[in-house]
Chains A and B, each alone.
Chain A
Amino acid sequence: MVGRRIGGEYILVPLVGWGADLDSIFNLNRVGAFVWERLDGGTNGSAIVDGLVDRFAVDRETAEADYVEFIEHLRSIGAVTGPTPL
């Protein structure tokens, strides 16, 4: 799965070999794109939630809940693996 910012859109594109699979492209909103771009295997979930609180003027509890829900959704489509990093 790779993320691409195209114009004003941020989309997740599943890879198939060297190509892209158009059957299941996902469109991320600003918050989703913010989180996706920080899922680099090195940044922990807590730091990402901190970033959400700073960037989007949301309280930490809501940010955490949204973050976990988003990660679970990404996991359900195979975009991330492993435990929820929080």
Chain B
Amino acid sequence: MAESKASLAFLRDFLARSTLPPLPGEAPREAATGIAVAARQQGIAGLLHRALDSEGEATSPWPAEVREALARDRRTALARGVRQLALAARVLDRLDRAGLRALPLKGAALLETLYDFEDERTMADVDLLVLDDWPQARALLADDGFVECGRADHAAVLRDPETGAVLELHHSVTSSPGLFPLDRDGLWSRSVPGAGQVPRLPSAEDLLVQLSLHAAFQHGLVLSLAQWLDFRRLLERRSLDPQRLLAASAAARASAPLAAALEAARVVVQAPVPGWLRGVEARSVRLAGRAPLHFVTPAPPDLARVRLSLLRGRRLELLRRTLFAETPGEPASFLHRIGRGAARAARLARHWGPWMLRGALAGAARGRPGCGHVSGTPPRLAQADGILRDLFGGFPFLRLTVTGDCMRPALAPGDRVRLVSREQRPPRVGDVVLARHPEGLRLHRLVWGPPLARLGLRWRTQADRGAIWDPALEPEDVLGTAVEVEGSPGLRALRGRLTSLRSLLRGLRTWMRLERAP
């Protein structure tokens, strides 16, 4: 069941008021089911169940099966959260023994201090910021068996060999490293002892700056409700030193992201922003008039506009640092940087697509169905969106086996593919996605997707060996994104450096061929 606006509105109200609103009078059973599904997607199913528990069962209008489902989610979240924190602690200890300083970011830095129990807020993965030699830290973890299954310009995505949990090893808080400078020694000297498994945490002021950068710059001010709740909890439960916060935000050149994120947090969950923090940066993103749910996933973020607004006067620097981002340990020669710049420009294609095609694609759905059948999904299940969406919400990843060879060489028959939910990894051009087609589920590549969809264009997928597009998709038809393929010796990522550009070009070539066809 998809997250409905009514379910999200209920949950937002719940977080803003800190008490459970009444269920709608009409069809309360259906409403409760929808709210439970949305709570799981938003990372707060455990918190919702705790609230239901405190309300008492006898007079509660919430159906027993919904309460049971939430209880199961809470137990799962507890076990998962504890194990994720254990992973953070283990890796931090490993790095510390090698003389490398590192601190947790986001959920791993918040769960034990801002929440009463680990089940109250779920984490997709564990984020750690390495303050010293990042390549050495990466090599150290590779020696320990961690498998690198993805890279961004600010972090490597690693999978823990023991638990399968995902660890993001950052050398920068945001992409485009250097745009928001990191005072590594300052971060370390201001860090404080942890209260649980994680031994050290960033100071409250540094955490707020990092959360703001993540919310505003990295996600265009669109986060899950759990992530917005982080702001509220941080402001409520940690005391902030005004001077230190303003100094930290100025040093990171993050005043505008801080102001924008705090304003959005106030709108979404009524985060108690202190008076001295309001208007800390007058020249920020214009948020007035935007409804609270515009800031909550799955609302599409207007990433480009937000970034440009945050970086007025620094837009050339944004472009330079985005195209020519420096990754520690990678060759920094001119030619290497130009090469990487071209690859990053290709990735930007997903944000700055060919606008001249606007409106021209609507008639192109003349394709035969794709051939990338997915085994193990009986027809009934293939139609059962609710089941798949629930599973995506309940597990870190889903695995399935590919049949058909229309995605060769990326995917061969028998390949076991790991998929994550579209909330965990929003689909983008070049991704292989699990999508619902009239004939059933297909694992095909997204050749046309956001943000162009916001211009009224519909999403398109195509088999890598297919000659034509699949029928047009609605965004909700895409159920998940393939991120890895299992195999020997380990997992391999499904995206290369030029995947976005190649996919976009393939999509365009197909479109042009269709346009020329008699």
Contact between A22 and B395, CB atoms less than 8 A apart: no
Range class of the B interface residue count: 20 to 34
Range class of the A interface residue count: 10 to 19
Contact between A18 and B396, CB atoms less than 8 A apart: yes
Q: Judge if B33 is at the interface, Cβ distance under 8 Å.
A: yes
Contact between A19 and B398, CB atoms less than 8 A apart: yes
Nearest residue, chain B, Cβ from A23:
B376
Contact between A7 and B1, CB atoms less than 8 A apart: yes
Contact between B387 and A18, CB atoms less than 8 A apart: no
Q: Judge if B55 is at the interface, Cβ distance under 8 Å.
A: no
Contact between B386 and A7, CB atoms less than 8 A apart: yes
Count: A-B pairs, CB below 8 Å: 67
Contact between A19 and B396, CB atoms less than 8 A apart: yes
Contact between A21 and B399, CB atoms less than 8 A apart: yes
Q: How far is the CA of A80 from the CA of B163 in the complex (A)?
A: 22
Contact between A25 and B376, CB atoms less than 8 A apart: yes
Q: How far is the CA of A2 from the CA of B401 in the complex (A)?
A: 20
Q: Judge if B377 is at the interface, Cβ distance under 8 Å.
A: yes
Nearest residue, chain A, Cβ from B434:
A22
Q: How far is the CA of A11 from the CA of B380 in the complex (A)?
A: 12
Contact between A25 and B381, CB atoms less than 8 A apart: yes
**B405 proximity list for chain A (CB < 8 A):** none
For the residues of B in contact with A, the DSSP-based class is: mixed
Least CB distance from A54 to B in Å reads 18
Q: Judge if A6 is at the interface, Cβ distance under 8 Å.
A: yes
Nearest residue, chain A, Cβ from B390:
A6
Contact between A19 and B33, CB atoms less than 8 A apart: no
Contact between B390 and A19, CB atoms less than 8 A apart: no
Q: Judge if A16 is at the interface, Cβ distance under 8 Å.
A: yes
Using CB atoms and an 8 Å cutoff, list the residues of chain B in contact with chain A. 1, 33, 65, 68-69, 72, 80, 163-165, 374-377, 380-381, 384, 386-387, 390-391, 394-401, 418
- 9 A-B pairs, CB-CB below 8 angstroms? A4-B391, A5-B65, A6-B390, A7-B33, A11-B387, A19-B396, A21-B400, A22-B391, A22-B399
Using CB atoms and an 8 Å cutoff, list the residues of chain A in contact with chain B. 4-7, 9, 11, 13, 16-25, 27
